[in-house]
């Protein structure tokens, strides 16, 4: 039921943001149902089961909405709404930034080798608020050093001009990370490990991202 309600809400947003030009156009609800299947299963577009719209129709609408930046607008809208639900102001002042390297095959974009994680694939770069709501996200090859991934957030950061403090782990100690924060009007704070720490320990507020 939650999934159905979520699809209905996303479909309404898309239809308002990008009204169909023809009265007989496929409904956004049916398109999003197929997109949800694709995201949930990881199956190829051509593998859409019977009962969904033709895969070319689904992929065409999906690419149209991506190119118009509607999913990015949707994520920012949801983040503001969820912050209100948590009793917070819609515009955050704190951001927590981190990366995650994941394995992938060499399809649909470049990949690289992360020697520290021993992963061949891509690196997700995430900026979230104090509640974990995604503020900006991008993907780079896994061989890009963490300190050099921040520039990939340049497109998403300006949508949150209220941000004043960024929390990072120790791999972001480089001077260029501080310069990136200064450029975007934020202070940088590196959350250091305890000198006596042994093994994995959840760091203050860092666990949220």
Q: How many domains does the chain have?
A: 2
Q: How far apart are CA 122 and CA 102, in angstroms?
A: 6
For the domain that residue 168 is a member of, what is the CATH number? Answer: 3.30.420.10
Asked whether residue 142 is assigned to any structural domain, the reply reads yes
The reply to whether 53 and 134 lie within a common domain is no
The reply to whether 64 and 97 lie within a common domain is no
* CB-based contacts of 37, cutoff 8 Å, min separation 6: 43, 48, 49, 52
Can you give the pLDDT at residue 208?
83
Asked whether residue 199 is assigned to any structural domain, the reply reads yes
Can you give the pLDDT at residue 71?
92
The reply to whether 106 and 61 lie within a common domain is no
Can you give the pLDDT at residue 42?
79
Q: Would you list the DSSP string of 46-66?
A: GGPPBTBPPHHHHHHHHHHHH
Can you give the pLDDT at residue 31?
94
Can you give the pLDDT at residue 200?
60
Asked whether residue 74 is assigned to any structural domain, the reply reads no
The reply to whether 133 and 173 lie within a common domain is yes
The reply to whether 14 and 104 lie within a common domain is no
Q: How far apart are CA 69 and CA 66, in angstroms?
A: 5
Can you give the pLDDT at residue 1?
44
The per-residue pLDDT for range 30-88, each reduced to its tens digit, is 999 999 999 888 788 999 999 999 999 999 999 999 999 999 999 999 999 999 999 99
Spell out a b/e string for 56-66, using b for 16 or more CB atoms within 10 Å of the CB, else e.
ebbbebbeebe
The reply to whether 146 and 194 lie within a common domain is yes
Asked whether residue 112 is assigned to any structural domain, the reply reads yes
Asked whether residue 77 is assigned to any structural domain, the reply reads no
Is residue 73 within 8 Å of residue 17, measured between CB atoms?
yes
The residue out of 53, 68, 83 marking a domain boundary is: 68
Those residues of the chain that have pLDDT short of 50 are 1-2
Which domain range does residue 6 map to?
2-68
Which of these, 129, 125, 131, lies nearest to 155 by C-alpha position? 125
The reply to whether 194 and 97 lie within a common domain is yes
The reply to whether 19 and 111 lie within a common domain is no
Asked whether residue 153 is assigned to any structural domain, the reply reads yes
Asked whether residue 172 is assigned to any structural domain, the reply reads yes
Can you give the pLDDT at residue 2?
39
Asked whether residue 157 is assigned to any structural domain, the reply reads yes
């Amino acid at each position: 039921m939650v999934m159905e309600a979520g699809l209905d809400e996303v479909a309404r947003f898309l239809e308002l943001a990008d009204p169909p030009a023809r009265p007989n156009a496929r409904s956004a609800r049916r398109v999003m149902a197929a997109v949800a299947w694709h995201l949930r299963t990881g199956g190829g577009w051509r593998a859409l089961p019977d009962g969904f719209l033709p895969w070319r129709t689904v992929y065409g609408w999906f690419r149209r909405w991506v190119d118009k930046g509607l999913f990015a607008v949707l994520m920012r809208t949801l983040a503001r709404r969820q912050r209100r639900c948590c009793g917070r102001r819609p515009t955050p002042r704190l951001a927590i930034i981190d990366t995650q390297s994941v394995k992938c095959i060499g399809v649909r974009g470049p990949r690289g080798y992360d020697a520290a994680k021993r992963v061949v694939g891509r690196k997700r770069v995430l900026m979230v608020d104090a509640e974990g709501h995604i503020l900006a996200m991008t993907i780079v090859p896994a061989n890009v050093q963490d300190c050099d991934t921040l520039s990939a957030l340049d497109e998403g950061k300006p949508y949150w001009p209220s941000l004043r403090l960024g929390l990072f782990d120790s791999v972001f100690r480089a001077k260029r990370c501080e310069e990136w924060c200064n450029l975007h009007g934020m202070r940088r704070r590196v959350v250091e490990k305890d000198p006596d720490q042994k093994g994995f320990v959840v760091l203050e507020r860092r666990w949220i991202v």
